[in-house]
Amino acid sequence: MMSVLVTALLTCYAAGVVLPACLPRRPKLQNFVAHGLSAGAGLAGIVLGIVGLLAPAPLILSLPSTLPLLTFAVRLDPLASFFVLTISLAGLSASIYALGYVTEFYGRASIAVLGALFNGFLLSMTLVVIADNGFFFLIVWELMSLLSYFLVVTEHEKADVRYAGLFYLIMTHVGTAFIILAFFIFFQAGGSFSFETFRHPAQPLPDGMRTLVFLMALIGFGTKAGIVPLHVWLPYAHPAAPSHISALMSGVMIKTAIYALIRVYFDFLGGQFPWWWGFVVLVIGAVSALLGVMYALMEHDLKSLLAFHSVENIGIILLGIGVGMIFQTFGLKELAALGLLAGLYHTINHAMFKALLFLGAGSLLYATHTRNMEEYGGLLRRMPWTGVFFLIGAVSISALPPTNGFVSEWLVFQSLFLSFQLPTVFLKLMLPIAAAMLALTSVLALACFAKAFGMSFLALPRSAHARHAEEVPVPMRVGMALLAVVCVVLGIAPMVVVPLLDRVAAPFTEVSIEGKVLALDGWALAPGNVEFSSLSTPVLALLLVVLSMLGLGLVVAFGGLVKKRYYKTWGCGINLTPRMEYTATGFVQPIKRVFSTIYQPTLKLETEFLEESRYFAKRRRFEFHIEPIFQKYLYDPVVAFFTTMADRLRVVQAGSLHLYLTYIFVTLIVLLLLAV
Amino acid sequence: MLQAILLVVAQTIVLLAVSPFIVGLIRKVKARLQVRRGASVFQPYADLAKLFRKQPVVSTTTSWIFTATPYILFASTLAAGLLVPVFVSRTPLNFAGNIIALVYLLALGTFFLMLAGLDAGSAFGGMGSSREAIVASLTEPAMILSIFAIALTAGSTNLSTIVHKTALLEGIVTDPSPHLMALAALFIVAIAETGRVPVDNPATHLELTMIHEAMILEYSGRYLALVEWAAGLKLVVFLTLIANVFAPWGIATSVEPTALIVGLATYLLKVSGLAVLIGVLESMFAKLRLFRVTDLLGVAFILALLGLVFFYVLRG
């Protein structure tokens, strides 16, 4: 059963890569075939993921290769199945969405190439999470990075897209270098690239090497995940790609790094680590979450804003995993499982609502041809469906009850609260502070999405683009609707999700906490016990509906049925125009001012006065920037160092053939001397 | 089951009935301190009744968000109120959510109110939403930390459990300092969250100062009635929280009729007492500049953190 599904999945994606190119050059047909096949693969992947999560034993498939050390081995344990499920859910929605969205690119880009890259990208991501051989993993990991690079530069005629692509390419390869080093340490100890020998090497890794693996993996995978300070590429690259690709990159590609981190720390290293590892992950998580949302607030490009929110949510996921690691060190297995479970829950939640929001942003781009939030406005009236789906995504990412984002953040809060069971006072004090940072993060996210939704969908249209926007075609709406439904289900049915996630976490913490987390026949979540804390999102959802009805009932009871009167908004005596509305920049101004230590804003106001009087301004110019601290103090020096080095080295590259022949000769002599 | 439903209904009625009274009481206290006679404490009931009957005017600029928000706000605030023990220490809906759920339910209302503020397209609404965003973000960390300090001393994050245990004097820490720190922090948070002086002034309609009033400026008629009622409810929820978590005296720990009556009477006394205190404080202080609010909420954060440190230090 499972192997059939794996074959179906891989065949569909592979066909999706090959077939569009073989078809006649008819964009419509190519679009339909490519995205139809990826949707089919997505369906197979969803079933496979669920079956894999429920299967009693992992599925192992293996194909030998002619290269030494490389086998095309595939292993579907609960962890891999969970990620296959996540990737496939997002992949299916993005495929359906692409059927409509890609029409934008007819005549501008080759649909065959775009469709093939899309399928290849999904295929490589799926292979990354099911690979069972280090060599194979590195190949598909590299493939994933390259394919996503090509997708990022789809609109390569624009200079900023090329810059974003280059930035991404460099960063991801720096990350891959660290991953290769980490894997070589495993290889040295076990003599094979098989993940099984990574898990149980011939001689155990010494402590120093384990620490090295920890750091290498954190930097390597952290670059892909977008942890602070390695996040800088993310807000460039993710928005530059076509929107359905952005949805996959932000929703699921960065999650493959989370997968790999769990795989390395909990699986390969056996969940044995000193407490400071978990603490480092926790600190990185808290800092990424807070800085991610803070920079998101200052963004007025909707897609960049969403990209920064990915940094934030990766931070929240790492908070859960970090807490799990700390508890694991101290032998508090059940709490470790809880932290891990919270992190995993947030992983699938973020994949769903972030993909949804990116698809929503894509719809706005499709309808208005701009990403600048200041040019939207009033779109809820013109695009009611997109608006509702975007609102569901916004409420979920702001972690408001009873949505899925709230459930997972609540679980992270609970695992942070249970820190009083730890033996050291330092950690007991640090974890609550992390909780406070998470609280600040989530309320800033709320503010950010009030801004994003409010500026885009409410009030008057702020530009001609927004005034003439029209609702997007049906396939795009279906793609978003699917994700919106999944978001709602993940929120109000944790009793279905938690047992599945428990199966993922249980092998690593050697304890099943399903019975401990679910209380009252699954109607409530109660980590610890019902007396300590409990949450029932289905009941809260029901309560909200009933109480809204009560509100409606009270209105009718006290006031009867009255017809509303419609009238224009009071504009202080003149007619309201969009220029009188609050702007996104204005909206976040107080936040910018309060947190000016972090933003380091620079304001420039130049006023040109009339010659006759200094009381009348002729022209005003206003500029505002926030300091990109990491780029300025971390990346620019590194880049400057390499450019200077390259300049210095240029002397040896004079371009003269004679000189190069001399080099070869000298090298030969030196080598011969060494050989003797 | 029937008993549980009856208790939930009773709690809903009490919360709905008490909140206009508390608003009226604060206004009365302020009036008396300004040597005015002031309106009757029951004036807010008359205001609500009047607003419900008036024809609402809705801006042509708005979307369905604007008309849906009052209902969402009302429902979420009331739902938060149902998680707090009011006159019985064991609320039937205890299992539905702990204190974090309460905080986030209130945030749900704030989120939609912020959207509604932006919806009419007037600059006042946007200004209110923007200010609400910064005040909310500064209160939240202090709130979570003070909750943590309370949860530690009581060994639970479920409000019912905290109140019930405290009422029965179970698991009380002998040294009360962490509790007192958390109380002070939570009181500041409550003032900021419910938009009272010195953070916001519910009696002003001056664009330089208003926060909450700016967001709801475009509302009228029945919608305004619901929003006002919800604002009163939010105030009562916070006062109930403070009264019952820190002083659960007299609260009914069983469902016997006498205990219930005593519980209800003491509850009214406690909440009225806190309302008088707020009235007095509002008369003593001037509203802070928006960017001075940071300092006040910073104090709340530090207090909550100190409560936590004290707890661990005192416990060794």
Contact list, A410 vs chain B (CB under 8 Å): 100-101, 104
pLDDT band at B179 (very low <50, low <70, confident <90, very high): confident
HSE toward the beta carbon, residue A443, CA cutoff 13 A: 29
CB contact under 8 A, A534 and B97: yes
Q: What is the DSSP letter of B288?
A: P
User: Average pLDDT, stretch A537-557?
Assistant: 95
Lowest mean pLDDT among A210-224, B103-117, B164-178, B296-310: B164-178
For residue B175, pLDDT beyond 70:
no
Beta carbons of A416 and A434 less than 8 angstroms apart? yes
pLDDT of residue A615: 83
pLDDT band at A148 (very low <50, low <70, confident <90, very high): very high
Kindly list the residues from chain B whose CB atom is less than 8 angstroms away from the CB atom of residue A551. 70-71, 74-75, 226
Chain-centre distance for alpha carbon B246: 15
Q: Give contacts of A400 with chain B, Cβ < 8 Å.
A: 104, 107-108, 111
Share of chain A above pLDDT 70, in %: 100
Q: How far apart are CA A383 and CA A466, in angstroms?
A: 10
pLDDT in tens, A438-488: 999 999 999 999 999 999 999 899 999 999 999 999 999 999 999 999 999
CB contact (8 A) between residue B108 and residue A437: no
Dihedral sign for Cα A322, A327, A330, A334, please: negative
Q: Six-digit token pair at B289?
A: 């500049």
**Cα–Cα distances in angstroms (integers) from residue A318 to residues A201, A282, A409, A439, B303, in the given order:** 27, 6, 12, 15, 28
Helix (H) or strand (E) holding A566: strand A565-567
What does the pLDDT average to over A231-245?
92
| Interface contact B133, partner A, CB < 8 A | yes
pLDDT of residue A189: 87
Distance CA B296, CA B198 (A): 9
The model's pLDDT over B86-123, given as tens digits with 9 standing for 90+, comes to 999 888 888 899 999 999 999 999 999 999 999 998 99
Mean pLDDT computed over A66-88: 91
Query: d(Cα A309, Cα A303) in Å, to the nearest integer?
Result: 10
**Between chains, do B104 and A524 touch, taking CB under 8 Å as contact?**
no
Give the residue from A58, A67, A324, A69 showing the smallest Cα distance to A183. Answer: A69
pLDDT in tens, B11-37: 999 999 999 999 999 999 999 999 999
Set of chain A residues whose Cβ sits within 8 Å of the Cβ of B71: 548, 551-552
For tokens 């001393």, the residue is B153
CB within 8 Å: B97 and A400: no
- The mean pLDDT of chain A is 92
- The chain-wide mean pLDDT, for chain B, equals 91
Nearest to A45 by CA among A5, A75, A3, A93: A5
Strands A59-64 and A71-76: antiparallel
Amino acid identity for residue B116 in this structure: A
Query: CA-CA distance, A337 to B22, in Å (whole number)?
Result: 46
What is residue A278's predicted lDDT score, i.e. its pLDDT?
94
Domain range list for chain B: 2-314
- The predicted pLDDT at position A570 comes to 87
- Give residue A650's pLDDT: 84
Q: What pLDDT score does A280 carry?
A: 96
Q: Do the Cβ atoms of A590 and B290 come within 8 Å?
A: yes
Are A63 and A7 contacting, i.e. CB atoms less than 8 angstroms apart? no
**How does pLDDT run across A6-52, given as a tens digit for each residue?**
999 999 999 999 998 888 888 899 999 999 999 999 999 999 999 99
Of A485, A491, A258, the residue nearest A356 (C-alpha): A485
Chain B environment of A417 (Cβ under 8 Å): 148, 151, 157
Give me A281's structure tokens.
């992950």
Sign of CA dihedral B97, B100, B106, B108: negative
Hey, what are B69's tokens?
């928000």
Closest CA to B308 of B184, B198, B215, B178: B178
The stretch B270-279 carries a mean pLDDT of: 96
**Interfacial B residues in 103-132 facing A (CB < 8 Å):** 104-105, 107-108, 110-111, 114-115, 118-123, 125-127, 129-131
CA nearest to A406 within chain B: B104
Q: Where are the domains of chain A?
A: 133-540, 629-675
CA of A562 vs chain B CAs: smallest distance (Å): 6
pLDDT confidence of residue B25 = 97
Query: To 10 degrees, the CA torsion angle through A29, A32, A36, A39?
Result: 150
Residues with Cβ within 8 Å of A111's Cβ and at least 6 positions away in sequence, in order, are A20, A27, A30, A31, A34, A102, A105
Which of A526, A555, A562 is opposite residue B55, by nearest beta carbon? Answer: A562
Amino acid present at A527: P
Whether B280 has a pLDDT exceeding 70, the answer reads yes
B173 has a pLDDT exceeding 60: no
Greatest Cα pair distance, chain A, in angstroms, is: 104
The answer to whether B295 contacts chain A (CB < 8 Å) is no
What confidence score (pLDDT) does residue B142 get? Answer: 92
Q: Does B138 touch chain A (CB under 8 A)?
A: yes
| pLDDT tier at A600, thresholds 50, 70, 90 | confident
Nearest residue to A100 via CA among A468, A486, A470, A487: A470
Per-residue model confidence as pLDDT tens digits over B40-84: 999 999 999 999 999 999 999 999 999 999 999 999 999 999 999
Residue B309 sits at the chain A interface (C-beta within 8 Å) = yes
Task: Dump pLDDT digits (tens) for A297-325.
Answer: 999 999 999 999 999 999 999 999 999 99
Cβ A251 vs Cβ A358: under 8 Å: yes
Per-residue confidence (pLDDT) for residue B230, from 0 to 100: 97
pLDDT exceeds cutoff 60 at B316: no
| b/e map A631-665, b = 16+ CB within 10 Å | eeeebeeeeeeeeeeeeeeeeeeeeeeeeeeeeee
Task: Fill in the amino acid letter for A139.
Answer: I
Bigger pLDDT: A239 vs A618 = A239
| Residue in A600, A621, A619 with CA at minimum distance from that of residue A611 | A619
List phi, psi (to 5°) of A582: -65, 140
A520 band by pLDDT with thresholds 50, 70 and 90: confident
Half-sphere CA count of A285, side-chain side, radius 13 A: 29
Residue A100: is its pLDDT beyond 60? yes
> What is the C-alpha separation between B150 and A25, in angstroms, rounded?
68
